[in-house]
Amino acid sequence: QVQLVESGGGLVQTGGSLRLSCTVSGLTFSSYVMAWFHQAPGKEREFVAAISKSAGTTYYSDSVQGRFTISRDNAKNTVYLQMNSLKPEDTGAYYCAAKETRIIDTDLTRVQWYEFWGQGTQVTVSS
């Protein structure tokens, strides 16, 4: 049974930082591209960041570039999202996602591209 379990969410003030974690079980973690998505209240789920299987390449949305950092530890089956300089618009649920693939293409920003999802962790940024 595949499980993706996010943690690390919480309440933080504008300009603060949080580090999200997503621990994966039930699959060969190092064979999967991993990503984080954000879903603000009342809005669709949107791409935040992704990381290649070997962690050699990372991808970010324009809205988080320079503020967020995605990383992974294949020995711990865990992907991280370091979030700095948080803004109220970063509020919402954060989901990790996994895709087994040999090729990374522009579809990596699409919800439908991913095979497995976690249940999400809530982040609230107060102004």
pLDDT band (50, 70, 90) for residue 62: very high
pLDDT at 121: 98
pLDDT at 116: 98
Tokens of 122: 């809530």
Question: pLDDT, tens digit, for every residue of 81-125?
Answer: 999 999 999 999 999 999 998 877 889 999 999 999 999 999 999
pLDDT at 102: 81
Tokens of 116: 């497995």
* The pLDDT of residue 55 is above 90: no
C-alpha to C-alpha distance for 59 and 51, rounded to whole angstroms: 6
Question: pLDDT, tens digit, for every residue of 19-44?
Answer: 999 999 999 999 999 999 999 999 99
pLDDT at 80: 98
Residues in the chain: 127
